[in-house]
Amino acid sequence: MLTHLRPAVSLVVLFTLLLGLVFPLLFVGLGSVALPFQAGGSLIVRDGHPIGSALIGQNFTSDRYVHARPSAITGTDPKDPSKTVPTPYDASSSAPSNLGPTAKALHDRVAGDVATLEKAGAPAGTIPMDAVTTSGSGLDPDISPAYAALQAPAVARARHLPLDQVQALFARMTRGRVLGIIGEPRLNVLRVNLALDELR
């Protein structure tokens, strides 16, 4: 029996060390050398201090900044632990709303967001999807060029900048599809807002 058991135990130990220790350490080491920005969490640093990640969205609310798409993340209500309250872009709790296309709550929220955008001056029927829909994670760091263009007039007014200067910045900061075919054109909200702060 021991002759049959020894090879099995040896293989378990060997593959545990190889696949559970050696390979992960090898990939971490290679990642740190070949892709240090990504391996370090894609942190964006300003004045020597990390202010966010290029991969995790933040909740900007001032008119001076481009806003991210809505976030469906909820957290525990501090006043009543048995209830939940919206906590947009809370990176400690990533989750979708799990509301389906026939959910009245989803329909009412989207209709309310559309009405708010139209009241703010968005032409009816031109509101991009990411302006009123949430992402699966609730932490989407990017928006579409169409949603950025919708926000450009408000940002220009709040910053007392010419609209064409803000639009030119958005055009420069738009990233295309990966390898020309994967994904959609997009702008990283944190990077755009940092660039806006540097405009004169």
Query: How do residues 67-112 score in pLDDT, each as one tens digit?
Result: 999 888 888 888 888 888 777 887 777 767 677 788 888 888 888 8
21 and 119 in one domain? no
Dihedral sign from CA coordinates of 118, 123, 124, 125: negative
- Give the pLDDT confidence of 121-158 residue by residue, as tens digits: 888 788 898 888 888 787 889 999 999 999 999 999 99
* Stated pTM of the model: 0.77
DSSP 94-120: -------TT-HHHHHHHHHHHHHHHHT
Number of domains in the chain: 4
In a domain, 188, yes or no: yes
104 and 129 in one domain? yes
In a domain, 43, yes or no: no
Residue 60 has pLDDT above 80, yes or no: yes
Tokens at residue 53, please? 């990640």
Q: To which residue do tokens 């993340």 refer?
A: 73
Over range 167-173, report the average pLDDT: 94
How much is the pLDDT for 65? 93
Task: Identify the band that residue 31 occupies on the pLDDT scale cut at 50, 70 and 90.
Answer: confident
Cα–Cα nearest to 195, from 172, 164, 177, 162:
172
How much is the pLDDT for 39? 75
146 and 176 in one domain? yes
List phi, psi (to 5°) of 29.
-65, -45
Q: Containing domain of residue 28, as a range?
A: 2-37
In a domain, 150, yes or no: yes
Average pLDDT, the chain: 86
